[in-house]
Every structure is written in C-alpha cells, then in structure tokens.
Amino acid sequence: MILHNKNLLRNRSPYRAPLSKRQALKLVESSYLAASTALVWIALYYLPIGGAVFRLALPLPLALLQIRRGVKTGIEGLIICVILLTALMGPLRGPLVLFPYGFLSLWLGYSWTKKWNWWLSWSAGVLIGTLGFLVRVIALSLLVGENLWVILTRAGAGLLEKGIDLFNLSLTPDMRLIQVVALLLIITQEVVYVLCLHAIAYWIFPRLKSSIPDPPALLEKLISLDPNLL
C-alpha cells in the first residue's frame, strides 16, 4: 500500500521527467522572443526617437518564433508578450500591441511557414495593418479623451490642398473626400510597411537558420539584396 502511494505521487509530480532539449529550446525561445517584442513595444511607446526602427522590428521576433517552432508556439509567445505588457503598462496600453503588430506577426509567420506567395501574405497583411491601425486610433482616442482621427483628417486635407494647387484643379473638397484621402494615406503607409517587413525578413532570417519564400519576379529587382551577403 505504501509503495503504491509512492508510485502514485511520483506519477502526479510535475517534476517526474526532465525537459528534452527540444522542449527546453522551445521554452527559452518563446520567452526571449516574447520579451524582445515587449521591450520593443515599450521603447516605441515611450522613447521619443527611433519609432520607425522599432515599428519595423516589432512583428519580426514572434514571426521568427512561429517559423522555427510552429503556429502553436507563436500563439503562446504572443500570449506571453501580452501578459507581460499588461503587467508592465496596464490593461489598456499593454494589449494594444495586438493592433496590428501582434496579429500581423501571427499572419506573416503562418504564411511564411506555409511558403505562400508574397502577394497573398502582403495583401492580407496590409488589410490587417489597416484595421489594426484604426482600432488603435479608436482605443487611444478613448484613452486620452480626444478624437485622434482629426489629426489624420488634417493630414488628408493638407495633402488634398497641395494636390489641387499643384495640378491647378477647380475642386472644392468636402469632408467625405477628405476622409477618403486620409484612409488612403493609412493604406499606403501599410503597403510600404508590410513590404519592408517582407524584405527585412528575407534578408535577415536566413542568417538565423530560417527562411521565407522568395519574392515574386516582379519584386525581385526591388528586393535585390542577396540574403547570403548579410
């Protein structure tokens, strides 16, 4: 009876078997890459300089984790990152990393793991980025108590006025047209941003013993740097 109880306790113990090398590497990579993403998000949120570099770096660690360890591990890494940021920044600012960077990292990692064409990963990434940007604008507007969409509307109005003056058009822009131009500015920004993420991953990931699909023929000249030269 005593021997049976000892065996039962041993089987229920969480320390009954050591982690394998693969499990240990998976645990360490998930922790470090999730923490790296959280650190970059904090730097983007609080530091007054380097915003463009931080934005380019944000989705890549978790996308790399997903390529190396699978979709499930990528999701776990994102959950760890959100929990860490929630503890450090609060329940409002922390989860904002999901919009669009967290979901974008999951999508890019998944599509690169499946070796899908750049056109698919790029176009869907632009959609995710645009929707995430709008969600973040709404959340930040509620957080600061001001309508931040006004800033984008002013930028759209300014661009529209410059275009009218440049081409000498007899056009009086209304609010609907200004809103459309502001939305087009966001989409254009995301088109360039997601393409840059593809290019950086294509150049850097092979050095980390991971890779993404080759760019389509139409983009080969644009993405002309050989990743093996880095």
pLDDT, tens digit (0-9, with 9 covering 90-100), for 103-133: 999 999 999 999 999 999 999 999 999 999 9
pLDDT score for 227: 46
Task: Tell me how far apart the alpha carbons of residues 166 and 5 are, in angstroms, rounded to a whole number.
Answer: 86
Separation of first and last alpha carbons in the chain: 65
Angstrom CA distances, 178 to 129, 171, 191, 192, stand at 21, 12, 20, 21
Query: For 54-63, 123-132, 172-181, 205-214, which range has the lowest pLDDT when averaged over its residues?
Result: 172-181
Per-residue pLDDT tens over the stretch 65-108:
999 988 999 999 999 999 999 999 988 888 999 999 999 999 99
**Percent of the chain as helix, strand, coil, to the nearest 5:** 75, 0, 25
State the helix-helix crossing angle for 60-69 and 175-204, rounded to 10 degrees.
50
Provide the token pair at 16: 């009954």
* Annotated domain spans of the chain: 21-229
Quick one: tokens of 191?
A: 């088109």
- pTM of structure: 0.86
Query: Which residue in 223, 217, 153, 207 sits closest to 181, CA to CA?
Result: 153
Angle at 33 between CA 30 and CA 227, to 5 degrees: 120
Q: Give dist(CA 62, CA 41) in Å, integer.
A: 13
| Residues in CB range of 197: below 8 A, 6 or more apart | 56, 59, 60, 104, 108, 125
pLDDT reported for residue 86 = 94
Q: What angle do CA 155, 160, 165 make, to 5 degrees?
A: 130
Residue 31 burial by CB count (10 A; 0-12/13-18/19+): exposed, middle or buried?
Answer: middle
What is the CATH code for 21-229? 1.10.1760
118: amino acid identity, one letter: W
Interatomic CA distance for residues 121 and 210, integer angstroms: 17
Do residues 116 and 213 make contact, with C-beta atoms less than 8 angstroms apart? yes
Task: Using alpha carbons, list the distances in angstroms from residue 78 to 36, 60, 87, 136.
Answer: 11, 12, 14, 18
